[in-house]
């Protein structure tokens, strides 16, 4: 019998070999295209790059967000797991938070248009927003709480809001020398530190 059988709602027949192959090919193609054309690249372009039809891409990844999530899942996961690690290894919770935010910003900045897509309210990107935030907000909250408990930053800031703010700061035309998201994120963190509005 297949690996899953007894009492399962879904029979879960094993996927066909060619389907699995196509899925991998698509992921590789998408990753390559995202680098050159951003995450908004035309579906046709990705399909062509992978040498498959568009039907195939839509079957494996019904929405654009599904594809983006699949491509970046590993990196998001790594970022999420880095949270507790940094907290354990850093000099202070605030230092850990700072390092973790750096990681997140690096991730967003190096993926063309990802930050835009993350905040976009256009259809098809909802799942992206959801996945990223569901995965990373708890991690951020843990770091935030630790820093608050250590008295290093003021309480009252929600992790969700902070994450979205950081993401937003990374949005925009790439490589404008006059705009460096990192400096503004740093400013945001400084604002967190201030105990009272003076």
The reply to whether 63 sits near DNA by the rule CB under 7 A is yes
The reply to whether 10 sits near DNA by the rule CB under 7 A is no
- SS3 string, the chain, reads CCCCCCCCCCCCCCCCHHHHHHHHHHHHHHHHHHHHHCCCCCHHHHHHHHCCCHHHHHHHCCCHHHHHHHHHHHHHHHHHHHHHHHHHHCCCHHHHHHHHHHHHHHHHHCCCCHHHHHHCCCCCCHHHHHHHHHHHHHHHHHHHHHHHHCCCCCCCCCHHHHHHHHHHHCCCCCCCCCCCHHHHHHHHHHHHHCCCCC
The reply to whether 110 sits near its own copies by the rule CB under 8 A is no
The reply to whether 157 sits near its own copies by the rule CB under 8 A is yes
How many binding residues for its own copies (CB under 8 A)?
Answer: 34
Smallest gap from Cβ 9 to DNA, in A, equals: 15
Between 129 and 154, whose beta carbon lies closer to DNA?
129
Residue 60 binds which of its own copies, DNA, none (CB < 5-8 A, kind-dependent)? DNA
How many binding residues for DNA (CB under 7 A)?
Answer: 28
Identify residues 109-138 at the interface with DNA (CB under 7 A): 123-124
Between 40 and 152, whose beta carbon lies closer to DNA?
40
Binding site for DNA (CB under 7 A): 1-2, 13-19, 22, 40, 42-44, 51-56, 58-60, 62-64, 123-124
């Amino acid at each position: 019998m297949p690996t899953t059988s007894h009492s399962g709602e879904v029979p879960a027949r094993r996927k066909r070999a060619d389907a699995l192959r196509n899925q991998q090919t698509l992921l590789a193609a998408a990753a390559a295209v995202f680098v050159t054309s951003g995450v908004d690249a035309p579906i046709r372009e990705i399909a062509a790059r992978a040498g498959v039809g568009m039907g195939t891409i839509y079957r494996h990844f019904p929405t654009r967000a599904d594809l983006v999530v699949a491509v970046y899942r590993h990196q998001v996961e790594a970022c999420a797991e880095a949270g507790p690690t940094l907290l354990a290894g850093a000099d202070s919770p605030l230092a850990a938070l700072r390092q973790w935010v750096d990681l997140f910003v690096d991730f967003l900045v190096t993926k063309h248009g990802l930050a835009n897509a993350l905040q976009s309210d256009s259809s098809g990107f909802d799942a992206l927003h959801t996945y990223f935030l569901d995965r990373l907000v708890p991690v951020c909250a843990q770091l935030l709480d630790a820093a608050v408990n250590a008295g290093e930053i003021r309480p009252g800031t929600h992790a969700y809001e902070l994450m979205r703010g950081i993401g937003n700061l990374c949005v925009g035309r790439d490589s404008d020398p006059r705009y460096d998201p990192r400096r503004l994120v740093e400013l945001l963190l400084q604002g967190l530190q201030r105990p009272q509005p003076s």
